[in-house]
Structure formats: C-alpha cells, structure tokens
C-alpha cells in the first residue's frame, strides 16, 4: 500500500532566535542537524526506507533531507526540489523577533497573523532587506509578498496532486522534508482536518510522520514513527 513520510526540518537559526522566517533562507543549528540525523536513523531502524524524496528550495529543508538520507543510508534516491513546498511567506513580519512583535502590536494581533486560516500578515515592501526578487532560485516565479495558511495550501495541494500523488500511486515510498505550514497543508488534506482546527496543529521538528494510504490515497492511518 502507498506510504508517505513527512518530516519538518530540524531547528533553524531563526527558530532558535524566535524570529519569523518564512521564505528567508536560514540554515540549521547544530541541534537541527542532529534532529535531521536522528530522523534518518529512526527511518533506518524501523525499516521505513524511502525510495523517492521531495523538498523545498530552502536550505534548512534541503539539508534536513540530505542529513536524514545519509543517516538512513539512502543518499542515492532521486529527489525533487520545488518552491511550492516552501514555508508560508510571512511578509512584513520576516526577520522580526516574535516577542518584540507581540509587544509592539499586541498578542492578539500577532496570534491572528500567525494562527488565522485566511488572514495574511502585512506585505513585505519592495526593496526590503528580505526581498527575494534577485535570488536566482526564484527566477521566473511570482514571489508572494505575504501568505496566509489558506494561500500556502493553494500552492501546496496542486503540487501534491501533480507530482507526489502519482509517485505514491506508482508504489514509491515517498519522503517529504519541508516546513511547518507546507506540511500542515498536506496533513489537512490527507486527514480531513477543518480550517479552524488545522491552525492549532503543531508539527514538531525532525519527527517523521507516517501516512499509510489505500490505493485511492485515502489515509488509513497517521502516526509518529517514534511511537511505533
């Protein structure tokens, strides 16, 4: 039966610093590297070995994938990188300290920006130090200026249907190393979670989530591999 494994990237430097990251490219911390290796070691120990991998265009997810595959002895499997698996774009919040932002705008406003389903943060202004228009990895891509979770889902799910679902139907064991919100999009779809409830779902870093699917890619079971 088809099997999908989801892994959120390990701790990043801005996770550690409690800053809004979004599309900005931040690397893993030493702890994040260890989380990624631990995820791969767990895959190997449980015999849950991927045959195909997908990730975003962001360093923290790519390195998580590579470190996990190295630990699992699977560095040779094919992998695909795509911007549609990127983290949600945090717009004008990018780079800001979360606690300082709450002190300035109020806890409730920050909660709305972070946890509402369809209200995006303020847009990222052109010319900001976090403007990605000159980044060669996004050449030809209409880079968003801000995204809600709903916006993120609107790009992740078509990519899942076009690229990941066919691989699952073909019998591949698929590993997706991505981000909290791009993975929320997949979990929402596969587990049928409501708009209201998905915003409260926490996806921990470096913990493989396994979906056992039927032939129509309907979820039969979802579990953390560490609990099996």
* CA dist., res. 216 & res. 7, Å (int): 23
Collapsing DSSP states into helix, strand and coil, what is residue 94?
A: coil
Nearest to 32 by CA among 2, 59, 3, 5: 59
User: Which of the residues 35, 79, 87, 172 is marked catalytic?
Assistant: 87
Q: How far apart are CA 188 and CA 194, in angstroms?
A: 7
Q: How far apart are the C-alpha atoms of 61 and 76, rounded to whole Å? A: 17
Distances in Å between the Cα of 155 and the Cα atoms of 58, 60, 138 are 16, 20, 15
179 is catalytic: no
Catalytic: 172?
A: no
Q: How far is 39 from 33, CA to CA, in rounded Å?
A: 10
User: What single DSSP character describes residue 97?
Assistant: B
What is the rounded CA–CA span in Å between residue 209 and residue 203?
Answer: 9
Residue 79: name the closest of 179, 183, 157, 174 by CA: 174
CA distance 16 to 29: 8
Distance separating alpha carbons of residues 148 and 157, to the nearest angstrom: 14
* Options 9, 35, 89, 172, the catalytic residue: 9
Q: Just list the catalytic residues.
A: 9, 87
């Amino acid at each position: 039966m088809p099997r999908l494994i989801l892994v959120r990237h390990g701790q990043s430097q801005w996770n550690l610093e409690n800053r809004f990251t979004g599309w900005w490219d931040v690397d893993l911390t030493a702890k994040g590297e260890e989380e990624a290796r631990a995820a791969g070691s767990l895959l190997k120990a449980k015999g849950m070995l991927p045959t195909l991998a997908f990730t975003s265009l962001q360093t923290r997810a790519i390195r998580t994938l590579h470190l996990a595959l190295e630990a699992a002895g699977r560095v040779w499997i094919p992998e695909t990188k795509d911007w549609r698996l990127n983290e949600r774009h945090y717009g004008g919040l990018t780079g800001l300290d979360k606690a300082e932002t709450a002190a300035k705008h109020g806890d409730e406003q920050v909660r709305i920006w972070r946890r509402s389903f369809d209200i995006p943060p303020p847009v990222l202004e052109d010319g900001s130090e976090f403007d990605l228009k000159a980044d060669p990895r996004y050449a030809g891509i209409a880079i968003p200026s801000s995204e809600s979770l709903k916006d993120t889902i609107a790009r992740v799910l078509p990519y899942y249907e076009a690229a990941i679902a066919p691989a699952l139907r073909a019998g591949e064991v698929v590993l997706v190393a991505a981000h909290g919100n791009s993975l929320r999009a997949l979990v929402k779809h596969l587990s049928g979670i409501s708009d209201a409830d998905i915003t409260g779902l926490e996806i921990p870093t470096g913990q493989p989530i396994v979906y056992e699917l039927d032939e129509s890619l309907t979820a039969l079971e979802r579990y953390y591999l560490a609990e099996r």
